[in-house]
Structure 1
Amino acid sequence: MAPIRALFGNAVTMALEGNFMDASELRQVPDNQEVLLGQDSNVSVILEVLQQVEPGTSPDDMDRAVRYHFDSIANDNDATDVHVTWVDVAAGDAPAGKTPQPALLQGTQRVKKFGKPADNDLVHIWVAVWRLPSKKVDLALSLNEPSDADTDAIAQRFRASAGSLRIPAEHRSALTPTTAKKLIENGFEITVERDPQRIFDDAEFEAWPKAPKATPIIGLKELDTPGPDLENTHIQFAHCYKNQEGWVDVLGRFKRGGGKLYDLEFLEDAQGRRVAAFGWHAGFAGAALGLLGLAEQLNGGKLGAQTKFDNEDALLKETSKAVENIRKHRADGKATALVIGALGRCGRGAVSCFERSGMKPEEIVRWDLQETSAKSGPYQEILDVDIFVNCIYLRSKIPNFIDTAFINQAGANRRLGMVVDVSCDTTNPNNPLPVYSINTTFDKPTVDVELAKGVPKMEVISIDHLPTLLPREASEAFSDDLLPSLLQLPFVTGAAGEDALKHTHEEGKGAVWTRAEKLFRKHLADAVAHGA
């Protein structure tokens, strides 16, 4: 299998066979490009974020687009004898939140090589173009090969690489233009990599060159695996401290590269509270999808692909309709929900969504530690509501909230139709909801619970990046909470001077980062003990 390469700061990933090096190690590369050079061949691969040629995603539109970018390469190369061998254009738009299919082209150009006064060299060129209408950009991939290459084999590898390219359906940003501006005003230099999927346009940030090894890199979700060893300090949600799948490999990359991880999930103040979290918006978005999904289920359908909403009000218009639809299908005219973890950030967000969607206070059951510790699960109360939202922070093994045997035993005598697992401990062996085994996505938001024949349908929503349903509001809230901690980074990086390093255990002078590094070292040692 070809190795997966993370490009544009992990905004794009792609499998690429061969031995390539990053051209930025040799020369300056424009910040809208990723340039890879073959180390044992004359091959070059370029991925560019370019202004959209013209609107439209029909086959004719994409045919014109890929030819335009091919001609642009010819113009840049002062090429002669330009010929298109074939064009392959996929029909139809991609589902919301899914990477679109590229338009592909193979052609030849005669290009004058530097230092060669003789005839121009024949160069084979492959081009792939992905259109991102929401950002009004084209993502263009080009591969150049000399004339003596095995073009059939290269074409096959190029198609595989183009087919593997993924633009994750994640629109949030841990650092927003507002927070970046405040950091710059406080003497920080900020490096922002281009990201065609980010809710904030690149132009809303001040762009800087690629980060040197000593510069901390702040991101959001975990890096794709497999991947290169990690040399920088990374500030992100790594999802590797609770023995999740692949945790040893993730931490092993830091060990081998000499890098450091400050995991945002475990960045805590002196009282052990998280300094910043997306929890409120995760709960809000999860409850919203639960309402939309159950309404579709009661109408005999299934919730389709979802994409981001501009703001909460736009989302609430849809969830309010869903509440009314649920009421119409219930003999008592009620729409009911139970939220476990109701006192935490996630739980408060879920309750807020239900209330603002038109549910009455008495229709929303709020549970927290007091209720779950009063008796052991499974809980009949969960089966007695329309929607169950799990918002707990799982630290250890606890009794199951529900399981398939419990649901099958109830048969048709239950009301529950939709489970929303905001906590999303899918691969955690202690997951108290052992009724599903996969994370769902915005492309396919629900998965059916496998139940006995004749038992009414039940679905689970287990999306691990729920706040991206409201990416702008979620990002602004998170980044604002994170800002005071970011302002303390110079104390632990040495940028504030050697004397500051003596005070990094003090609150307000880097203690938040000192605690995070201590936790990283502990889990790194655990990973080493497990073979990292």
Structure 2
Amino acid sequence: MLKIGIIREDKIPIDKRSPLTPEQCQKMAKHFEVEVKVQESDVRVFRPEEYTQHGIEIVGNINDCDILLGVKEVPNENLIPEKTYFFFSHTIKEQEYNRELLRTILEKKIKLVDYECLLDPKSKQRIVAFGRFAGIVGAYNTIWTFGLRYNLFNIRRAHECFDLADMKTEFDKVKLPAIKIAITGGGRVAKGAMEIMYGMDILQVTPHEFLTERFDRPVFAQLSSHTYHKKKDGTLFNRREFYENPELYEGDFLKYTKVADILIAGAYWDPRSPVLFSREDAMQPEFKTRIIGDITCDIEGSIPSTKRPATVDEPVYDYDPTTDSIEPEFSEESNITVMAVDNLPCELPRDASESFGQEMLDNVLPHLLGDDKYDVIKNATIAENGKLTERFSYLQDFVDGK
């Protein structure tokens, strides 16, 4: 019988999430007729007895398992040779900090399947992700930041709440003035952020109304790519063309920074695309935005104030555009306060794990434990038998250090 192991999350900072909940492990074992083992952990949000109550064995090591499911990158020294691993490897964009991880995977002849590359065969959209909870926690943290910066209210942090339902009990404490909040993106992250806006009774308005009208209550607008990019040659915006050839476009975001008090950034950014604004833009008198929740957390990316990732323990810092430097949070009124935690979903590990695990059951395991006739697993496999797969052969120069 095939053995599947849920590995302990050993990466620092700690992550309490699991790719499957105890109940989902039981469902997987029963429905797909596999044996499931869970590696003991002191940090996982689910207690050992929650697994054993569902008939799942807790073990010290998972060396005898065939397939190993995790969430974050596995430390190099913990990787077991010649196993099949599923986790977010953060290597496909040639991330420098994970070069040694990919080298070790190849040396140990590990089969690596990256969750980020698991796509629906028809739509080519991702079939498993934590994006919704990144948006939920990111937007909540951003509102928390606003409350502290202006001494208006103090709500519990997301990680201090038992789960999402508990966190929602804090919404009534939020008393916002008539501010404007801009949210970029149209995917899971942006939709998660919008859940918080709706939950806090913040009115949604159109981008045009956001720019041109005054309101006596807090409002937000969801901004899609076409609302803040324009074609360099003056012709109309074309969505497909923009994503395929973003260098043909220029940014048109500054009109929003003149009216937005808060920016919540949830849009995917291609390095070939225009930035939202520059350091010089942020120094102009008409630049109004003073709080940025950068859920994308692209360092030195589309938002110049995102100079480094923040942490769950220290979620915000100030950015001084005049010196292009980081300062302590809330230290100067002219600074921009940045919330840029790069592992937001782990602040609500119970709900995030449940949502992710359901997508695993529905969208991934049927391919993994079936015949994979649509090559869903194959196309997400980065390495196998000590070599990069053909689809990811472009990473060879990266592995070689070229």
Q: TM-score when scaled to structure 2?
A: 0.77
Hey, what's the Cα distance between the residues in 1 that align with 2:157 and 2:168? 18
What are the superposed Cα offsets for residues 141-165 of structure 1, whole Å, 9 maximum, x if unpaired?
xxxxxxxxxxxxxxxxxxxxxxxxx
2:287 equivalent to 1:436: no
Q: Structure 1 residues 424, 228: closer, same or farther in 2, change over 3 A? A: same
Q: Structure 1 residues 176, 218: closer, same or farther in 2, change over 3 A? A: same
Instruction: Report the number of matched residues.
Output: 343
For 2:309, the aligned partner's letter is N
Q: Structure 1 residues 228, 184: closer, same or farther in 2, change over 3 A? A: closer
2:107 equivalent to 1:259: no
Deviation, 1:203, is 1.5
Corresponding residue number in structure 2 for 1:366: 222
Q: Is the 8 A contact 1:390 1:420 kept in 2?
A: yes
2:46 equivalent to 1:200: yes
Gaps of 5+ in 2: 1-5, 206-218, 231-249, 324-331
Matches within 5 A, 1:45-444: 168-186=13-31, 187-205=33-51, 206-209=56-59, 210-212=61-63, 215-224=66-75, 230-270=81-121, 271-299=123-151, 307-322=159-174, 324=175, 326-327=176-177, 334-341=178-185, 343-362=186-205, 363-374=219-230, 376-410=251-285, 413-426=286-299, 431-444=301-314
Corresponding residue number in structure 1 for 2:236: none
Q: Structure 1 residues 280, 300: closer, same or farther in 2, change over 3 A? A: closer
What are the superposed Cα offsets for residues 266-290 of structure 1, whole Å, 9 maximum, x if unpaired?
2111121111111111111100000
Q: Secondary structure of the residue that 2:126 maps to in structure 1?
A: coil
Q: Is the 8 A contact 2:278 2:304 kept in 1?
A: yes
Deviation, 1:522, is 4.5
Gaps of 5+ in 1: 1-7, 14-165, 328-333, 492-499
- Aligned with residue 486 of structure 1, among 340, 365, 372: 365
Q: Secondary structure of the residue that 1:268 maps to in structure 2?
A: coil
2:299 equivalent to 1:449: no
Q: Is the 8 A contact 2:182 2:222 kept in 1?
A: yes
Choose 1 or 2 for highest CA Rg: 1
Q: Structure 1 residues 463, 523: closer, same or farther in 2, change over 3 A? A: farther
Deviation, 1:305, is 7.3
Q: Secondary structure of the residue that 2:251 maps to in structure 1?
A: coil
Hey, what's the Cα distance between the residues in 2 that align with 1:9 and 1:185? 20
Q: Secondary structure of the residue that 1:269 maps to in structure 2?
A: coil
Q: Is the 8 A contact 2:76 2:104 kept in 1?
A: no
Q: Is the 8 A contact 1:378 1:403 kept in 2?
A: no
For 1:312, the aligned partner's letter is L
Hey, what's the Cα distance between the residues in 2 that align with 1:354 and 1:337? 9
State the superposition RMSD in angstroms.
2.8
Hey, what's the Cα distance between the residues in 1 that align with 2:334 and 2:84? 50
Hey, what's the Cα distance between the residues in 1 that align with 2:137 and 2:281? 28
What are the superposed Cα offsets for residues 152-192 of structure 1, whole Å, 9 maximum, x if unpaired?
xxxxxxxxxxxxxx6x3422211111221111102011120
For 2:57, the aligned partner's letter is A
Deviation, 1:230, is 4.8
Corresponding residue number in structure 1 for 2:209: none
State the percentage of identical aligned residues. 22
